[in-house]
Amino acid sequence: MLKHEDMTITAACVLDAVPLHTWFSVSEVSKLMGLPEPRCQLLLTQFRLAGLMESRDDDTFFKRSS
């Protein structure tokens, strides 16, 4: 289990890495960040639920909300 601080730092890095105007797949974010796909999927979905990201194709692609 990750420590809360580790997950917060990871989440901030992922949010910063995903651009505003380009759609990224979960696997692309995973490769870019060096994180497992399930962890990236969780973070990206949580960002979408918080209104920080948009998704398409059944939460397969994400971009930051403008």
Q: Who contacts 14 (Cβ-Cβ below 8 Å, separation ≥6)?
A: 29, 33, 35, 40, 43, 44, 47
Query: Where are the alpha helices (H) located in the chain, listed in sequence order?
Result: 4-17, 26-33, 37-49
In the predicted structure, residue 2 carries a pLDDT above the cut 60: no
- CATH number for 4-64 (one of 1.10.1040.10, 3.90.1300.10, 3.40.50.300, 1.10.10.10): it is 1.10.10.10
pLDDT band at 3 (very low <50, low <70, confident <90, very high): low
Instruction: Give me the pLDDT at residue 5, please.
Output: 62
Look-up of token digits 């490769």? 31
pLDDT, mean of residues 26-36: 94
Look-up of token digits 């918080």? 50
Going by DSSP bridges, is the β-strand pair 61-64/24-25 parallel, antiparallel, or unpaired? antiparallel
* Three-state secondary structure call for residue 46: helix
pTM score of the predicted model = 0.87
